[in-house]
Amino acid sequence: MSRARPEARRATLLSGVVLLQAVCSAFFLADVLGDLGRGPREGGSLAHNLLELGVVCALVVGTVFGALEVRRLLTRQARIEDSLRAAGGAFGELLEEHFERWSLTRAERDVALMTIKGLSTAEMAAVRGTAEGTVKAQAAAVYAKAGVSGRSQLLSLFIEELLSEPLVAR
């Protein structure tokens, strides 16, 4: 299940709670106004009606605050999702640019990508259907073409470049 589905459900639930608060606010406000319109004998004491009116005002303030907070959270979530999409796209473009510049073969590109994703040599060999020695040789070729000494330096090269500039203009 993707992460977006629970977040969308949470946003829907929060919006439903705010809507319920708004309906309750309208109901209680109508009740208080009705009581005030009937007079002190039929509608209860003035102190009681003022207390109810204060409670209604607090409920309305809470509803407005909740609605604004839900809106702020949904806007923030959309911005974060946009940034993640941009980061994913930027990272993919960055990889391709470097792979082209280094003139990596298709097999070396596969090994470089799996190395960056954190797969072990044995896992890469299993995925590619080759011997571990072949993967080690291809990884060594990638490191030599990239001008790095190993896996961590290869990954650092991309991380430093991604962090050097903002991915999304603000």
Question: 81 versus 97: which is more confidently predicted?
Answer: 97
Q: What is the CATH number of the domain that holds 115?
A: 1.10.10.10
Are residues 77 and 116 part of one domain? Answer: no
Calpha distance 79→71 (Å, rounded): 12
Does position 168 have pLDDT exceeding 60, yes or no? no
Residue 122 placed within a domain: yes
Residue 91 placed within a domain: no
Give tens-digit pLDDT for 12-57: 888 888 899 889 888 888 888 887 777 666 656 778 878 888 988 9
Question: Could you tell me the residue range of the domain that residue 66 belongs to?
Answer: 1-85
- Do 104 and 145 form a contact (C-beta atoms < 8 A)? yes
Give tens-digit pLDDT for 51-71: 888 988 998 898 899 889 888
Say which residues have a Cβ less than 8 Å from residue 104's Cβ, sequence separation at least 6.
Answer: 112, 142, 145
Q: Quote the Cα angle for 144-145-151, to 5°.
A: 60
Are residues 70 and 11 part of one domain? Answer: yes
